[in-house]
Structure 1
Amino acid sequence: MTVIAPGSAGRPSSPGARGPSAGEPDAPPQLGLRERKKLKTRIAIREATYRLIAEQGYEATTVEQIARAAEVSPSTVFRYFPTKEDIVLTDEFDPVLERLLRARPADEDPLESLMIVFREGFAVFAASDGDAVVERTRLILEVPAVRARMTETMAETSQVLIRALADRDGVDRDDLRPRVFAAAVTGVLREALLVWAERGHGGDLMAVVDEALGQLRGGLRLRPEGPSPTR
């Protein structure tokens, strides 16, 4: 769960976009028929959920209503999303995140790799479904159950980071270093999303993420660099 680029996996490039050059990773293989059907169902459920929430609010929206609107059974909804909160929070970006991270140069600074990968994800997101993340972060901010579930599901993204970065750097996945690094990054990303939502979704989300990750890179300080203020 990344809460950045819903539905980014498998989207075609924009017209005139540059294709991969020599030395760049090949495009991922196309989804098979079964995978495409699953993705279509997940998207239908998610779109129905957002539509109903916009009409009647989060608390008033039930899984049964979502199932009817998506033209599936309630059991199908639960098969794809264990809780109603998961419908709001789950996206398709974690596998893309892992693939892009593994494609970065092995000697590149891990934080720099992440900032580049997030920018790529945001570029796809901005060109496709920008309204979804606005609604998603609004619900995270306003609905305690969604916010609590977000904290739990961010652990899944943390595991993606641990796998990709530990394997790339040749360290054990149980080593404390990749685990602390992943926990710090996902915590920073969570707070950046909340700050952006608290500010009314104004400005560039990626700029907020860049600023937050930049603070992590420079060492955590509560005061800006410079002379101490006089009392």
Structure 2
Amino acid sequence: MIAKWLSGLMEAKLPQPRAGMAAVEMTKVSKTYFTGAGEFEALKGIQLSVKAGEFVAVVGKSGSGKSTLINMITGIDRPTGGEVWISGMPVHTLNENQIAVWRGRTVGVVFQFFQLLPTLTVMENVMLPMDFCGMYSRTERPARALALLELVGVREQAHKLPANLSGGQQQRVAIARSLANDPPLLVADEPTGNLDSRTATSVIDFFQELAAGGKTILMVTHDNDLARRSGRIVTVYDGQILPDGDRECASRD
């Protein structure tokens, strides 16, 4: 079953991306969930454009639609209506195999709870996306993994299991893993939620460096102080993106 699935991924061909588009372009995106209690509209006609190299913080109270918005951008979920274009790729039109291939090559995802595989070493965790997508040769992968661990400051932990690292070190490994295939887009969902303030600040410092180097970064956060260190703040409220002047109203609601 796994071999058949992997074979399907290898055969999945992606359409040619449309040139000249923003890093993220969402047009009239809506998302409705159908539950036993009835319909719930999580996103309502979202319009969002993010340029390449922008560092954007996505803020809003719990249940506002932040995670659903991010799931549309990463292809984890599909819109009920509207279009999602990432670097010219029409993500809303891709099938499951195409999305898996596209995401592995194009989007690095950083989670709040690290999501490192406990039985693999730190270096093996970072190499996993390269193995999955067939990126770089087998001889290149270990060296690249070590270089990324050096970049985030935990190279000396390369041969340890994740359980032997602190929370801050595990998050750094997770960031290194998200960069394994050199994706143009990095999406971080509450990446500092389980970190102390000093470590959280260092993570934001690193995100700023990545953005300065051309990476596009979208970060969901509840921390307004960290959000203000991004280049731009997008506020989600009741499934919609608010104009800049309405941020304070949303934060007090």
> Relative to total residues, which structure has the larger strand share, 1 or 2?
2
Answer 1 or 2: higher relative contact order, Cα 8 Å, separation at least 6: 2
The TM-score normalised by the length of structure 1 is 0.32
> Relative to total residues, which structure has the larger helix share, 1 or 2?
1
The TM-score normalised by the length of structure 2 is 0.30
